[in-house]
């Protein structure tokens, strides 16, 4: 099959993923529930993944897609750790709102 | 040979000082006194030898020990110059010095620190000799400040009394003001002729063409300020009367006979400098005249016997400077010598009186001591006649010379000088009458102990009285041995011999009459109608002003001392604290910023991430803008 | 044998002292300081015999920093001052009991080590390192063994440290800048530089900041009085006797030759500043209640004069400055020791609580009086030689400098005699005052002997320092 | 390469030891193992090789930095013996995590491919998240972990996006290829953007202003040993990696091509000034020592950033600075661990009178603080000296003057601690002289002074 990007153009992909990435960022900035913050971060990562795939097709080169697997795996590991921390926090203070995490300051 | 002689001359008093300092207490009073006296006596003998040598050869001896201070363009060595002038000075310094040492043995016998007293006296003689025989100005300066130190130590000898200590401090500091002048003068001369050595300086100046006269005059003026400090001339004279706090022998030796004449010595030494600075000479003459008058007026009403003598010393010194101002150095020197004799005698006499009355110094509580202490009376009478210029006593010749010179140069100053000497005659005899005539006004208890002082005290008195009588012979008008002797020192022909014409005789007559007039007034006022000075509170009018010395001390205090002290307070309390506050302030500011910064670190993840993103956007947009 | 030997002796001494335990510490320290003194005298002989006693080894290759110690007359003179004062200072402390003495004396020796290094170093960076090193021990000495209220002391000492460090760091920057120009920190290479007037101005300023704070020149002196007062007297002696001379020495060795044009151009300003220091210091000293503070301000006045002389850029000025440095070093140590002697007996430094001591202790009085007179530069004391030369050099620049600077003669006499009168004279004090012990007497005697000897015969020192000062002047006047 | 494998193997062994019930032996064994690794690493020094088609490239830079990391890890492991003595069951995990973290660190300085770089940074970060939150019953520790995790993963997202853009621009992850093509004239704007994003991600890791906010909180919250790790190892790794990125991808040259170089330099200068000023000023008012050191770390990050201005020349300087900083940090933290072992906070008051109770430790802490403040003979001084020298030669005299002013400010808070130790009375008696802590402290400060007296040892490795 011919390169689909010739019809659509890489820029659109870039814009799409940038938009997705920004959505993720804003999610992180404005949501107070830790879980949702995690999800926003996931959105950021996936935006990047999308772009990776797009670029790899654009360059006709598989490395990009391989890299996506790396990033997915890493993301998974990260989230695992994150959730673990979250659980212990929930055990200690019974809430998962990051607004409660203001004891360390000054 | 000469070197050794000079060294003996200088070092024996120093040796005496060291011995008395380290072993004095263990030696016991008489021994330490004897050591002190002998030490000075030896120097006296040496000076006699030197005198003999000088008179025979007629040229000075230069002794150089070693390099002292090196400065790029002038090299100052530690050396001595023994010529007519210095030897002359040596003679009466060591001579009168040893007499006064002798006197002190008895006078200070009741003081527990007698050995210290003699140590200081010896140290003084040491420094005085250094001052006199130094071969350059800086060696003179060693002695100059050294004698100042000794006078500080001796004025404050009874150190438990803070008033005495104040007097001592005052003396030292006022001298220091003069010394600064002297130093500056040295600097100027040094930079002009790149030498401070008398001999080289003399050749340099006499040989020099196109001298920078204004600068030289400035130097001369500075030197004269130094002389003012040391020789208690206006405006730096106030320390001398206070210096009477010291034991009386000290007043006799330091504050009458020797140290205070250092100024005259220095000016005479540097006559070749002053001869070229005529304006300065006029200044000297005027200041001398004024000083002599002012001091004399104050002397009229003082009631403390030593204060009277002190002010008379100041006024006599003023007369000497009057002579110096007219370039009549030999005349000044002549008066220095005669003055040394009779003033020392007077002081020692007053000392003997005070000794007899166990420390009483106020003349209002004396009187009628003639019978009790005859020797003291007669010696003091002779000296008073001498100082009053009664004919054929030494003072008559010297003072007359001065007045003659003054007359030849400037009539007004001559008048001033004559008035001063009339006053001198008056207050001297006022002193005599109040002290020795009438009946005793002291307490009964004192009356019982009235007695003539011991021989150790009277012998010096007698010797000095003799000297005071015949001292004038060294420079008789007409043929003056002194003038011939000193002639080599002076560039211009030694002061024109007053061949005795009618003017001279009339002037002499006037002077004599003046003196007698003064004595007469005193006689009427204090002997015929027996009124004697009131107690302090009901002194009034002009005499109150005089009694309080024209309030000069108060003025100085208000104008100089107080401002400096308050300035010091101001600096200490405001400037200092302000400066350090400034430094601490920097720290405080940063701390304050830190404190505000802590607010930003609020602990909220949202904020942190927000700033994160903000920073990121800032950077990226900056890059886009830069493109 | 070369100059590094002194440093080694002192360094080993410092550690030996620390490990010798509290009992022996003071003795060991004294021993090593005397050894250093002996060593430096031997070196002086070798130097006069024309031997080369300098060291130079490369240390760091990139950037090029070398371990270079160069002992010319000036350096040796200052080393001798340090080596002579250290034993006196240590010995003078024998009367006191210090807790944790081993650290105390160790630090003293270490400081002596650093200061000696400063005087010897001929590589800019090595010099800077020693310069900074000297700061650390005095900081701890003042902090731990100091006196007075702890909080006050803390403030004073920290201020001192940060203040001086601030100055030095700018000097470091200047050095680095010079390095980028010269490609080496060696002093002779730095001397070879000829910088533009603009560069020189900033270099000069950077150095001046460092030295003005260290010396101190007004208005950078605010740390001084407090630290002098709060530090233990030994520390005060080290500070005022030697450390302060580090600054003055550095002016001669580094500041003037490295920025001669600037020095010439702004000479008058800095002379004026120094002289202002003289007058200001003397006046402030008049009304001090605390004996040590009074002495601190007096030394502010004296160093002001020395600094002024250094900036005259004339041989007389530099020579007088060095002479006066040495003289003042001895006198001020003696005076502070006198204050300590009084403190040992009366437990106070407040002048108001003293007085009437003379009657009880003639020996102490005489020694104290001699020191006082020396500090007011009475002729026949070493200080007079220094002060005369200094004032003369000033008069050569401008007679008014000499006159204004000369007021120190009057004001100095005023505050010193005033102090002496209130401390020593007057009605016999109710509290008993034991006369000086043998130890104290020895310390005083040594100082006084030095002052009097060189007062009459300063030639040895003059001959020692003059050649190196002339070379420095050549560098200054090279263009 | 072998280093990396060996380290990983060592980590696995640590886990095995737990299974084999040899807890006592873990710490000594790991230390020995790490020493062995260090030896291996030294053998690799000087050879330029790349493995697994350029995934890993061994160079002088990587080996010298790796050995620094290994040394630091040895110290940290040594300290962990006393630190975890009250929950022995966990010790193997913690030690193992530290070793894996080291693996990540080594990967980060020896990556030849952005994928490797990403993996390395993630290994490091995840390990750190775990360690930060490791004191799981302690709310502060939880909070620290959470904060670090959230912001860290956010940062990794940024980095990832940057990598992605670079890939988009270059069509490859391979550093050498990127290095080549970076010079080609027409590069899409993505490349600089991507680079900047990656750099920003790394700036977060080195805690440079304005990406520094996490540091003080996380440092304060995490267990002291973890703080030690973060403030020494993690920071050093991050700055080294950042340096390698900038130099390795030929960033300067390529920016120069598209005349963005000046922009970049301005950014670096601004960030470094901001970092050191904020770090120092904020540190002044801190009472918690860990927090104070966090801010001081921020300011040091600012200093280290100055090396980015002279990338070509200053690798050695960076190595020296990091070594000096990390060694003094280890020394300081080993004392802090000792002093605060049975306190729940690390306030300055705990240090009162340490000079009397434990003169040696007090001296060591003083030494390390002086080193950080940059007082001579301690390597910290020379680090600053070389850095300033480097920077002035590059012509940034203004920056250096700001840095100088900052080091003056820094003295203020370093000396607060010294004052507390020497001029206050002890408020507690401190018993026990744990050998490992003393040994670590002494050795690290000794190393610090040694490289201070002979800077060439370290400096010439990379010059």
Tens digits of residue pLDDT in A26-84: 999 998 899 999 999 999 999 999 999 999 988 888 889 999 999 999 999 999 999 99
**8 Å CB contact between B489 and B86:** no
Min Cα distance B606 → chain A (Å) is 6
**8 Å CB contact between D437 and D326:** no
Average pLDDT over residues C163-180: 92
CA D25 to CA B135: how far, in whole Å? 92
The pLDDT, as a whole number, for residue D186 is: 75
CA atoms in the 13 A half-sphere facing the CB of B23: 11
Residue D397 within a domain: yes
Return the biggest CA–CA distance within chain D.
Answer: 69
**Triad D167, D172, D177: Cα angle to 5°:** 125
Domain positions in chain A: 31-94
With CB atoms and an 8 Å threshold, state whether D151 touches B612. yes
**Triad B214, B216, B221: Cα angle to 5°:** 95
CA D333 to CA D191: how far, in whole Å? 40
The pLDDT, as a whole number, for residue A1 is: 45
With CB atoms and an 8 Å threshold, state whether C162 touches D386. no
In this prediction, residue D405 has a pLDDT band, given cuts at 50, 70 and 90, of: very high
CA A73 to CA B167: how far, in whole Å? 98
Candidate from B194-208, C275-289, D379-393 with smallest mean pLDDT: B194-208
Please indicate whether residue B256 or residue D115 has the higher confidence score (pLDDT).
Answer: D115
Return the biggest CA–CA distance within chain C.
Answer: 69
CA D260 to CA B277: how far, in whole Å? 80
Mean pLDDT by 10 residues, chain B (627 residues): 84 91 85 89 90 85 86 86 88 90 87 88 92 90 92 89 89 92 91 87 83 88 91 88 88 87 91 87 91 89 87 90 88 89 90 84 81 86 87 85 86 89 88 83 78 84 88 80 82 58 82 86 80 69 78 86 90 89 88 89 90 93 83
Residue D146 within a domain: no
Q: Evaluate whether chains C and B are touching (3 or more beta carbon pairs less than 8 Å apart).
A: yes
The pLDDT, as a whole number, for residue D313 is: 87
D157 touches chain B (CB under 8 A): no
CA C170 to CA B79: how far, in whole Å? 50
Ramachandran class of B603: left when φ > 0, alpha when ψ lies in -120 to 50, beta otherwise: left
Please indicate whether residue B523 or residue C211 has the higher confidence score (pLDDT).
Answer: C211
C152 has pLDDT over 90: no
Token output for D252: 């300067």
Q: Evaluate whether chains A and B are touching (3 or more beta carbon pairs less than 8 Å apart).
A: yes
All residues of chain B having their beta carbon less than 8 Å from the beta carbon of residue D217 are 601, 603
Measured between CA atoms, the residue of chain B closest to residue A104 is B603
**8 Å CB contact between C246 and C128:** no
The pLDDT, as a whole number, for residue B21 is: 87
With CB atoms and an 8 Å threshold, state whether C61 touches D375. no
Measured between CA atoms, the residue of chain B closest to residue C413 is B173
Cβ-count burial B524-548 (b if 16+ within 10 Å, e if not) = ebbeeeeebbeeeeebeeeeeebbe
Which residues 6+ apart lie within 8 Å of D137 measured at CB? Answer: A92
- Helices marked H in C251-381: 256-258, 260-286, 291-310, 315-346, 362-375
CA C395 to CA C280: how far, in whole Å? 20
When divided into structural domains, chain D yields a total of: 1
Domain hosting D288: range is 260-463
Return the biggest CA–CA distance within chain A.
Answer: 59
CA atoms in the 13 A half-sphere facing the CB of B168: 27
Min Cα distance D293 → chain C (Å) is 19
Average pLDDT over residues C228-235: 92
Q: pTM of the prediction?
A: 0.92
CA B136 to CA B377: how far, in whole Å? 43
pLDDT, tens digit, 9 for 90 and up, residues D434-446: 899 999 999 999 9
Q: Which residue among D200, D214, D266 sits closest to B608, beta carbon to beta carbon?
A: D214
For B236-341, list the strands marked E by DSSP. Answer: none
0.85 surpassed by complex ipTM: yes
CA atoms in the 13 A half-sphere facing the CB of C69: 23
Q: Which residue among D118, D150, D172 sits closest to A70, beta carbon to beta carbon?
A: D118
Using a 10 angstrom Cβ sphere, with 0-12 exposed, 13-18 middle and 19 or more buried, the burial of residue D79 is buried
CA proximity to C132, closest of C110, C101, C104, C155: C110
All residues of chain C having their beta carbon less than 8 Å from the beta carbon of residue B584 are 155, 159
All residues of chain B having their beta carbon less than 8 Å from the beta carbon of residue D215 are none
CA proximity to D73, closest of D197, D266, D229: D229
The pLDDT, as a whole number, for residue B450 is: 78
Residue D372 within a domain: yes
CA B300 to CA B569: how far, in whole Å? 40
CA B491 to CA B207: how far, in whole Å? 11
The pLDDT, as a whole number, for residue B611 is: 93
Identify the residue among D281, D295, D406, D416 best suited for mutation to test binding to B, counting B beta carbons within 10 A and taking the highest. Answer: D281
- Helices marked H in D249-378: 251-257, 261-283, 289-305, 315-339, 354-357, 359-373
With CB atoms and an 8 Å threshold, state whether D415 touches C128. no
Measured between CA atoms, the residue of chain D closest to residue B600 is D213
With CB atoms and an 8 Å threshold, state whether C140 touches D422. yes
Q: Which residue among B601, B603, B610 sits closest to A29, beta carbon to beta carbon?
A: B610
For D122-266, list the strands marked E by DSSP. Answer: none
Measured between CA atoms, the residue of chain B closest to residue A25 is B613
CA B383 to CA B389: how far, in whole Å? 10
Residue D276 within a domain: yes
C451 touches chain D (CB under 8 A): no
The pLDDT, as a whole number, for residue D214 is: 93
The per-residue DSSP string of B405-470 comes to HHHHH-HHHHHHHHHHHHHHHHHHHHHHHHHHSS---S-HHHHHH-----HHHHHHHHHHHHHHHH
Using a 10 angstrom Cβ sphere, with 0-12 exposed, 13-18 middle and 19 or more buried, the burial of residue B199 is middle
Min Cα distance B600 → chain A (Å) is 8
Question: How does the average pLDDT of chain C come out, rounded?
Answer: 91
Measured between CA atoms, the residue of chain C closest to residue B572 is C284
Q: What is the CA radius of gyration of chain C?
A: 21
For residue D15, the surrounding DSSP H or E stretch is: helix D2-19
Residue D36 within a domain: no
Cα D34 to chain centroid distance, Å, stands at 18
Residue D60 within a domain: no
Residue D317 within a domain: yes
Average pLDDT over residues D386-412: 93
Q: Which residue among D147, D196, D281 sits closest to B597, beta carbon to beta carbon?
A: D281
Token output for B525: 């006022």
C346 touches chain D (CB under 8 A): no
**8 Å CB contact between C352 and C291:** no
In this prediction, residue C67 has a pLDDT band, given cuts at 50, 70 and 90, of: very high
Q: Which residue among C359, C379, C399 sits closest to B146, beta carbon to beta carbon?
A: C379
CA proximity to B328, closest of B209, B393, B417, B253: B417
Touching subunits for chain B (3+ Cβ pairs under 8 A): A, C, D
**8 Å CB contact between D393 and D360:** no
D422 three-class SS: helix
CA C44 to CA C3: how far, in whole Å? 10
The pLDDT, as a whole number, for residue B199 is: 87
The pLDDT, as a whole number, for residue C10 is: 95
Touching subunits for chain C (3+ Cβ pairs under 8 A): B, D
CA distances from B357 to B2, B21, B344 (A): 47, 30, 20
Which residues 6+ apart lie within 8 Å of B528 measured at CB? Answer: none
For residue B66, the surrounding DSSP H or E stretch is: strand B61-71
Q: Which residue has the tokens 């790029």?
A: B72
In this prediction, residue C479 has a pLDDT band, given cuts at 50, 70 and 90, of: low
All residues of chain A having their beta carbon less than 8 Å from the beta carbon of residue D129 are 78, 81-82, 85
All residues of chain A having their beta carbon less than 8 Å from the beta carbon of residue D149 are 78, 81-82, 85
With CB atoms and an 8 Å threshold, state whether A29 touches B598. no
CA A16 to CA A37: how far, in whole Å? 21
CA C322 to CA D207: how far, in whole Å? 52
Q: Which residue among B69, B169, B173 sits closest to C458, beta carbon to beta carbon?
A: B69
Measured between CA atoms, the residue of chain B closest to residue A99 is B604
With a CB-CB cutoff of 8 Å, which residues 252-291 of chain D face chain B? 258, 260, 262-263, 266-267, 278, 281-285
Identify the residue among B613, B623, B627 best suited for mutation to test binding to D, counting D beta carbons within 10 A and taking the highest. Answer: B623
The pLDDT, as a whole number, for residue A3 is: 67
Q: Which residue among D126, D133, D171 sits closest to A78, beta carbon to beta carbon?
A: D126
**8 Å CB contact between C334 and C299:** no
With a CB-CB cutoff of 8 Å, which residues 33-92 of chain A face chain B? none
The pLDDT, as a whole number, for residue B372 is: 81
D115 touches chain A (CB under 8 A): yes
Residue D378 within a domain: yes
Min Cα distance A78 → chain B (Å) is 18
């Amino acid at each position: 099959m011919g390169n689909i990007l010739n019809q659509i153009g890489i820029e659109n992909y870039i814009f799409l993923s940038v938009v997705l990435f920004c959505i993720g960022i804003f999610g992180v900035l404005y949501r107070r529930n830790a879980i949702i913050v995690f999800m926003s971060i996931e959105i950021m990562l996936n935006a990047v993944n999308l772009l990776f795939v797009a670029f790899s097709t654009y360059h006709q080169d598989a490395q990009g897609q391989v890299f996506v697997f790396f990033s997915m795996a890493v993301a998974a590991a990260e989230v695992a750790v994150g959730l673990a921390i979250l659980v212990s926090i929930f055990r200690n203070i019974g809430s998962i709102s990051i607004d409660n995490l203001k004891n360390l300051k000054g | 040979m000469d070197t050794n002689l000079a060294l003996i001359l200088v070092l024996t008093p120093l040796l005496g000082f060291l011995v008395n300092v380290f072993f004095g207490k263990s030696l016991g009073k008489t021994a330490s006194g004897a050591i002190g006296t002998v030490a000075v006596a030896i120097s006296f003998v040496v000076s006699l030898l030197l005198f003999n040598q000088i008179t025979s050869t007629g040229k000075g001896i230069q002794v150089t020990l070693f390099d002292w201070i090196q400065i790029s363009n002038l090299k100052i060595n530690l050396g001595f110059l023994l010529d007519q002038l210095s030897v002359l000075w040596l003679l009466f310094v060591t001579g009168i010095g040893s007499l006064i040492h002798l006197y002190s043995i008895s006078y200070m016998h009741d003081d527990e620190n007698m050995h210290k007293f003699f140590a200081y006296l010896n140290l003084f003689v040491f420094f005085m000799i250094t001052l006199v025989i130094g071969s350059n100005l800086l060696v003179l300066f060693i002695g100059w400040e050294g004698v100042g130190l000794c006078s500080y130590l001796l004025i404050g000898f009874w150190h438990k009394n803070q008033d005495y200590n104040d007097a001592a401090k005052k003396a030292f500091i006022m001298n220091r003001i003069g010394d600064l002048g002297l130093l500056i003068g040295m600097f100027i001369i040094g930079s002009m002729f790149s030498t401070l050595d008398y001999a080289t300086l003399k050749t340099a100046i006499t040989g020099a063409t196109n001298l920078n006269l204004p600068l030289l005059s400035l130097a001369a003026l500075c030197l004269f300020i130094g002389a003012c400090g040391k020789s208690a001339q206006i405006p730096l004279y106030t320390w001398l009367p206070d210096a009477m706090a010291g034991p009386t022998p000290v007043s006799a030796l330091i504050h009458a006979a020797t140290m205070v004449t250092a100024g005259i010595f220095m000016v005479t030494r540097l006559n070749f400098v002053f001869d070229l600075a005529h304006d300065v000479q006029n200044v000297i003459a005027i200041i001398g005249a004024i000083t002599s008058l002012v001091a004399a007026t104050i002397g009229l009403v003082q009631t403390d016997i030593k204060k009277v003598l002190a002010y008379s010393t100041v006024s006599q010194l003023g007369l000497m400077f009057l002579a110096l101002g007219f370039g009549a150095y030999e005349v000044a020197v002549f008066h220095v010598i005669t003055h040394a004799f009779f003033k020392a005698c007077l002081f020692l006499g007053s000392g003997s009186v005070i000794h007899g009355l166990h420390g009483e110094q106020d003349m209002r509580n004396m009187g009628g001591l003639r019978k009790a202490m005859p020797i003291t009376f007669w010696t003091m009478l002779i000296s008073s006649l001498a100082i009053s210029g009664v004919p054929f006593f030494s003072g008559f010749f010297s003072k007359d010379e001065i007045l003659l010179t003054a007359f030849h140069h400037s009539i007004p100053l001559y008048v001033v000088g004559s008035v001063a000497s009339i006053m001198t005659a008056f207050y001297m005899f006022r002193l005599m009458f109040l002290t020795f005539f009438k009946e005793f006004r002291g307490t009964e208890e004192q009356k019982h102990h009235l007695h003539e002082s011991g021989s150790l005290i009277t012998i010096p008195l007698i010797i000095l009285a003799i000297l005071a009588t015949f001292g004038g012979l060294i420079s008789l008008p007409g043929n003056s041995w002194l003038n011939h002797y000193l002639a080599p020192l002076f560039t211009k022909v030694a002061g024109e011999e007053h061949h005795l014409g009618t003017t001279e005789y009339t002037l002499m007559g006037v002077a004599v009459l003046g003196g007698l007039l003064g004595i007469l007034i005193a006689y009427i006022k204090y002997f015929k109608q027996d009124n004697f000075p009131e107690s302090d509170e009901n002194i009034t009018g002009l005499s109150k002003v005089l009694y309080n010395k024209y309030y000069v001390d108060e003025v100085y205090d208000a104008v100089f001392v107080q401002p400096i002290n308050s300035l010091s307070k101001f600096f200490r309390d405001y400037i200092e604290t302000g400066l350090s506050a400034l430094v601490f302030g920097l720290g405080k500011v940063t701390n304050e910023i830190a404190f505000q910064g802590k607010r930003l670190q609020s602990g909220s993840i949202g904020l942190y991430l927000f700033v994160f993103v903000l920073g990121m956007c800032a950077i990226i947009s900056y890059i886009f803008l830069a493109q | 044998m070369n100059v590094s030997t002194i440093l080694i002796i002192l360094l080993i001494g410092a550690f030996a002292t620390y490990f010798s335990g509290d009992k022996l510490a003071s003795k060991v320290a004294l021993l090593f300081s005397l050894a250093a003194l002996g060593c430096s005298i031997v070196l002086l002989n070798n130097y006069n015999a024309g031997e080369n006693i300098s060291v130079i080894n490369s240390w760091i290759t990139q950037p090029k920093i070398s371990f270079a110690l160069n002992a010319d007359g000036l350096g040796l003179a200052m080393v001798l001052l340090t080596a002579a004062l250290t034993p006196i200072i240590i010995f003078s402390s024998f009367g006191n009991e210090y807790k944790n003495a081993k650290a105390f004396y160790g630090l003293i020796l270490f400081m002596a080590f650093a200061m000696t290094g400063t005087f010897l170093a001929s590589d800019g960076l090595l010099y800077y390192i020693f310069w900074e090193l000297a700061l650390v021990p005095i900081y701890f000495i003042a902090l731990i063994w100091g006196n007075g209220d702890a909080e006050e002391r803390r403030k004073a000492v920290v201020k001192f440290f940060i203040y001086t460090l601030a100055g030095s760091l700018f000097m470091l920057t200047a050095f680095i800048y010079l390095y980028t120009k010269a490609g080496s920190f060696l002093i002779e290479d730095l001397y070879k530089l000829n910088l533009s007037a603009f560069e020189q101005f900033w270099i000069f300023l950077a150095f001046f900041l460092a030295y003005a704070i260290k010396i101190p020149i007004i208005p950078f002196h605010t740390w001084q009085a407090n630290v002098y007062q709060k530090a233990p007297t030994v520390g005060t002696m080290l500070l005022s006797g030697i450390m302060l001379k580090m600054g003055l020495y550095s002016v001669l060795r580094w500041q003037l030759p490295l920025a001669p044009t600037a020095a010439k151009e702004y000479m008058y300003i800095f002379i004026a500043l120094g002289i202002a220091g003289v007058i200001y210091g003397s006046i402030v000293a008049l009304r001090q209640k605390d004996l040590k503070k009074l002495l601190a301000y007096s030394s502010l006045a004296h160093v002001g004069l020395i600094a002024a002389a250094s900036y005259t850029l004339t041989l007389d000025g530099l020579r007088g400055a060095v002479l006066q440095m040495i003289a003042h070093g001895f006198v001020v140590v003696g005076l502070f020791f006198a204050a300590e002697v009084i403190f040992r007996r009366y437990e106070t430094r407040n002048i108001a609580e003293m007085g009437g001591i003379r009657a009880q202790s003639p020996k102490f009085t005489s020694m104290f009086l001699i020191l006082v007179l020396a500090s007011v530069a009475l002729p026949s004391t070493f200080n007079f030689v220094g002060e005369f030369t200094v004032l003369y050099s000033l008069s050569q620049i401008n007679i008014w400098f000499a006159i204004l600077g000369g007021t120190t003669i009057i004001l100095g006499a005023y505050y010193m005699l005033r102090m002496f009168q209130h401390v020593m004279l007057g009605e016999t004090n109710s509290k008993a005052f034991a006369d000086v012990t043998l130890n104290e007497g020895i310390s005083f005697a040594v100082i006084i002997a030095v002052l009097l000897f060189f007062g009459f015969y300063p030639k040895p020192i003059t001959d020692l320092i003059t050649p190196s000062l002339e070379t420095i002047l050549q560098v200054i006047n090279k263009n | 390469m072998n280093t990396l494998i060996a380290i990983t193997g060592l980590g696995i062994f640590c886990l095995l030891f737990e299974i084999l019930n040899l807890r006592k032996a873990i710490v000594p064994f790991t230390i020995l193992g790490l020493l062995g690794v260090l030896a291996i690493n030294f053998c690799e020094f000087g050879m330029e090789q790349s493995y697994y088609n350029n995934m890993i490239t061994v160079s002088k830079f990587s080996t010298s930095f790796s050995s620094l990391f290994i040394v630091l890890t040895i110290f940290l492991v040594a300290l962990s013996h006393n630190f975890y003595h009250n929950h022995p069951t966990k010790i193997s995990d913690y030690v193992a995590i530290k070793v894996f973290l080291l693996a990540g660190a080594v990967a980060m300085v020896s990556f030849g491919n952005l994928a490797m770089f990403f993996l390395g940074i993630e290994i490091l970060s995840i390990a750190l998240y775990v360690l930060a939150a490791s004191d799981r019953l302690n709310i502060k520790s939880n909070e620290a972990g959470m904060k670090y995790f959230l912001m860290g993963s956010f940062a990794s997202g940024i980095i990832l996006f940057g990598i992605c853009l670079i890939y988009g621009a270059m069509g490859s992850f391979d550093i050498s290829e990127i290095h080549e093509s970076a010079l080609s004239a027409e590069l899409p704007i993505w490349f600089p953007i991507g680079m900047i994003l990656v750099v920003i991600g790394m700036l977060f890791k080195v805690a440079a202003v304005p990406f520094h906010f996490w540091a003080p909180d996380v440092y304060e919250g995490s267990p002291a040993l973890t703080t030690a790790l973060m403030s020494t190892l993690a920071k050093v790794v991050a700055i080294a990696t950042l340096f390698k990125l900038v130099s390795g991808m030929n960033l300067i040259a390529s920016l120069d091509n598209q005349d963005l170089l000046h922009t970049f330099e301005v950014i670096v200068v601004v960030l470094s000034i901001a970092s050191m000023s904020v770090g120092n000023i904020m540190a002044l008012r801190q009472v918690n020592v860990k927090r104070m050191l966090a801010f001081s770390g921020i300011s040091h990050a600012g200093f280290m950033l100055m090396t980015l201005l002279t990338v070509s020349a200053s690798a050695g300087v960076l190595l020296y600075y990091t070594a000096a900083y990390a060694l003094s940090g280890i020394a300081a933290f080993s004392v802090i661990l000792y002093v605060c072992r049975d306190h729940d906070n690390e306030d300055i008051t705990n240090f009162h009178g340490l000079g009397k109770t434990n003169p040696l430790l007090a001296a060591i802490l003083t030494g390390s603080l002086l080193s950080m403040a940059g007082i001579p003979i301690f390597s910290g001084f020379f680090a600053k000296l070389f850095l300033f020298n480097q920077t002035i030669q590059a012509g940034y005299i203004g920056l250096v003057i700001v840095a100088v002013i900052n080091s003056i400010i820094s003295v203020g808070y370093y000396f607060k601690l010294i004052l507390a130790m020497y001029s206050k009375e002890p408020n507690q008696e401190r018993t026990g002289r744990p050998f490992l802590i003393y040994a670590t402290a002494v050795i690290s400060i000794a190393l610090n002074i040694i490289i201070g007296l002979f800077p060439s040892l370290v400096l010439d490795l990379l010059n």
